[in-house]
Chain A
Amino acid sequence: MSDQDTTGRARPEAIKAVPVRHPGRWLAIAVLAVLTAMFVHLLVTNDQFRWSFMFSSYEPGKRGVMFTEPVLEGLRGTILLTVSSMLIGVVLGVVIAVMRLSDNPILSWVAWIYTWFFRAVPRLVLAILFGNLNILWDRIGFGLPFDQQIGKLFGIDDLNAQFYSVKASDLLAGFVAGMLALGLSEAAYMAEIVRAGIQSIDPGQTEAAVALGLSRGQVLRRVVLPQAMRVIVPPTGNEVIAMVKDTSLVAFVPVTYELFFQLNAIKARTFVVLPVLVAAVIWYLIICSVLMVAQFFVERHFGKGYGAAGKARQKLQGIAAEQGGVASYQGPASGPGGAGI
Chain B
Amino acid sequence: MTDEMVRAEAVHKSFGSLEVLKGVDLVVRPGEVSCVLGPSGSGKSTFLRCINHLEKINAGRIFVDGDLMGYRERGGKLHELKEKDVAAQRRSIGMVFQRFNLFPHMTVMQNVMEAPCRVKKENKAEVRDRAVALLERVGLGAKVENYPGQLSGGQQQRVAIARALAMRPKLMLFDEPTSALDPELVGEVLDVMKDLARDGMTMIVVTHEIGFAREVGDSLIFMDGGVVVEQGPPREVLSNPQQERTKAFLSKVL
Known A204-B97, A213-B119, A214-B118: A338·B105 in contact at CB below 8 Å = yes
Known A336-B105, A338-B107: A215·B83 in contact at CB below 8 Å = yes
Q: Within 8 Å of chain B (Cβ to Cβ): is A143?
A: no
User: Do B97 and A207 have beta carbons less than 8 Å apart?
Assistant: yes
Known A212-B164, A215-B87: A311·B107 in contact at CB below 8 Å = no
Q: Which one of B106, B118, B149 contacts A314 once the chains associate, using CB atoms below 8 Å?
A: B149
A214 contact set on B, CB distance < 8 A? 87, 114-115, 118-119
User: Do A205 and B101 have beta carbons less than 8 Å apart?
Assistant: yes
User: Number of residue pairs across A and B with beta carbons under 8 Å?
Assistant: 105
User: Do A212 and B143 have beta carbons less than 8 Å apart?
Assistant: no
Q: Within 8 Å of chain B (Cβ to Cβ): is A223?
A: yes
Considering only residues 94-149 of chain B, those with a C-beta below 8 Å from chain A are: 94-95, 97, 99, 101-107, 110, 114-115, 118-119, 142-147, 149
Q: How near does chain B come to A177, taking the closest CB pair, in angstroms?
A: 40
Which of A106-114, A236-244, A327-335 interfaces with chain B? A327-335
B158 contact set on A, CB distance < 8 A? none
B94 contact set on A, CB distance < 8 A? 211
Query: Roughly how many angstroms separate A327 CA and B136 CA in the complex, as a whole number?
Result: 13
Q: Within 8 Å of chain A (Cβ to Cβ): is B167?
A: yes
Query: Roughly how many angstroms separate A223 CA and B104 CA in the complex, as a whole number?
Result: 9
User: Do A325 and B97 have beta carbons less than 8 Å apart?
Assistant: no
Chain A residue at minimum C-beta to C-beta distance from B91: A213
Q: Within 8 Å of chain A (Cβ to Cβ): is B26?
A: no
Q: How near does chain A come to B81, taking the closest CB pair, in angstroms?
A: 13
Q: Which one of A204, A327, A329, A338 contacts B99 once the chains associate, using CB atoms below 8 Å?
A: A204
Interface centre among A216, A337, A338 (most CB of B within 10 A): A338
Q: How near does chain B come to A104, taking the closest CB pair, in angstroms?
A: 13
A212 contact set on B, CB distance < 8 A? 90-91, 114-115, 119, 163-164, 167
A38 contact set on B, CB distance < 8 A? none
Query: Roughly how many angstroms separate A314 CA and B241 CA in the complex, as a whole number?
Result: 48
Residues 305-318 of A, flagged 1 when their CB comes within 8 A of B and 0 if not, give 10000010011011
A209 contact set on B, CB distance < 8 A? 103
Q: Within 8 Å of chain B (Cβ to Cβ): is A152?
A: no
Question: How many chain B residues have a CB neighbour from A under 8 Å?
Answer: 39
User: Do A330 and B105 have beta carbons less than 8 Å apart?
Assistant: no
A151 contact set on B, CB distance < 8 A? none
Chain B residue at minimum C-beta to C-beta distance from A313: B150
A330 contact set on B, CB distance < 8 A? 145
Q: How near does chain A come to B4, taking the closest CB pair, in angstroms?
A: 22
Q: Within 8 Å of chain B (Cβ to Cβ): is A218?
A: yes
User: Do A208 and B101 have beta carbons less than 8 Å apart?
Assistant: yes
Q: How near does chain B come to A282, taking the closest CB pair, in angstroms?
A: 40
Query: Roughly how many angstroms separate A207 CA and B143 CA in the complex, as a whole number?
Result: 24
Query: Roughly how many angstroms separate A325 CA and B143 CA in the complex, as a whole number?
Result: 9
User: Do A213 and B83 have beta carbons less than 8 Å apart?
Assistant: no
User: Do B150 and A213 have beta carbons less than 8 Å apart?
Assistant: no
User: Do B110 and A338 have beta carbons less than 8 Å apart?
Assistant: yes
User: Do A213 and B115 have beta carbons less than 8 Å apart?
Assistant: yes
Q: How near does chain A come to B110, taking the closest CB pair, in angstroms?
A: 7
Q: Within 8 Å of chain A (Cβ to Cβ): is B59?
A: no
Considering only residues 159-173 of chain B, those with a C-beta below 8 Å from chain A are: 160, 163-164, 167
Q: Within 8 Å of chain A (Cβ to Cβ): is B252?
A: no
Interface centre among B93, B105, B146 (most CB of A within 10 A): B105
Known A207-B97, A214-B118, A340-B105: A331·B87 in contact at CB below 8 Å = no
User: Do A213 and B97 have beta carbons less than 8 Å apart?
Assistant: no
Known A212-B115, A215-B83: A226·B147 in contact at CB below 8 Å = no
The 4 closest A-B pairs by CB, nearest first: A208-B101, A212-B115, A213-B91, A211-B95
Given contacts A218-B118, A314-B147, 7 further A-B contacts (CB under 8 A): A210-B90, A211-B54, A213-B115, A215-B87, A223-B103, A329-B145, A331-B146
19 contacts between A and B (CB under 8 A): A204-B97, A207-B101, A208-B95, A208-B101, A208-B160, A211-B93, A212-B164, A213-B90, A214-B115, A214-B119, A222-B114, A222-B118, A226-B105, A227-B103, A227-B105, A315-B150, A318-B146, A331-B145, A335-B149
